Structure 1
């Protein structure tokens, strides 16, 4: 029978994500990652034998799960307001950097950038599908989804820079009209 992990995977991934959000991939040192998780480097390498690339991949895989939960309200009858509410929780009302952004800064391995790209495309497709189900043409639905993603990501940057979550809240409030009106 194996040992019970002293720190569960979800908590480890959240702590690793915080470092990657703050420092980007290249700027996240193994010392910072180890300190954030509360494990010695040897223990961290035991969990992630491939080192920092494996840690980054685990964070993005965890984000995929979170995005599945965030995007679920768009799956059938689009409930964009519920998606926005869930997004506000994950991004701490806009005061938390998007890991898709910071993880793809210079220095990230191609596999990490590819994984982030797939997640962004999934996000775009879910919003495009919701807009199409609300009556938008395929081309207009794609345009709306891109506009929504640009606004969300831009609002995350501005909210953090100004330390003002109202920017992000405003954009989230506009999403239902943008995607489904």
Structure 2
């Protein structure tokens, strides 16, 4: 018997592969192995609720594995290095696109504006906090954090477009040097 915990990653991959708009009920039922009735039992709000819950699950993972460690005052350099390692793992070394980015670029962006904005803002804020503790001024930390998120997201897009995951790996290596130079 499937439950929400097993369904959300499956739904996430459908949205990641086809975008919110392209994630048809046929694709969702195929990926989950559930019929329409069972899907609506789990998600009475339909596809929108599915996407909201997938985004919330992603947010929870990033909060626990990226944002909270960056806000931990213990060792900002170790937290930044751990962020890069976790990002590499999560995005499968550039072979997995960012679902939040997919939604941000699609027509459904306005429908999910709050969680999309919050995800990127919290990432930048948490990284800026670590960079500040590492010695950068507030303004420099904000700029470097924005550059880091831009580099990660841009590397994901370019790695996907070029079908070359090494692009992502190189970008993370270079980003590590820039971030730890603080």
The alignment's TM-score, normalised by the length of structure 1, stands at 0.90
Residue matched to 1:75? 71
- Mark the runs of 5 or more structure 2 residues left unpaired by the alignment: none
Residue matched to 1:8? 3
Deviation at 1:33, TM superposition (A): 1.4
Range with bigger deviation, 11-20 or 53-62: 11-20
Range with bigger deviation, 87-96 or 171-180: 171-180
User: How many residues align structurally?
Assistant: 176
Residue matched to 1:3? none
Deviation at 1:147, TM superposition (A): 0.4
Deviation at 1:109, TM superposition (A): 6.1
The alignment's TM-score, normalised by the length of structure 2, stands at 0.90
Do residues 17 (structure 1) and 17 (structure 2) align? no
Residue matched to 1:91? 91
Q: Equivalences for 1:136-151 in 2 at 5 Å?
A: 136-151=136-151
- Mark the runs of 5 or more structure 1 residues left unpaired by the alignment: 1-5
**Which residue of the other structure, out of 41, 65, 70, is the alignment partner of 1:46?**
41
Q: Any runs of at least 4 consecutive aligned residues in structure 1 with deviations exceeding 3 A, and if so which?
A: none
Deviation at 1:8, TM superposition (A): 3.3
Q: Which has the higher helix share?
A: 2
SS at match of 1:147: helix
| 8 A Cα contact 2:152 2:171, kept in partner | yes
| 8 A Cα contact 2:4 2:42, kept in partner | no
Give RMSD over aligned pairs: 1.5
Deviation at 1:111, TM superposition (A): 4.1
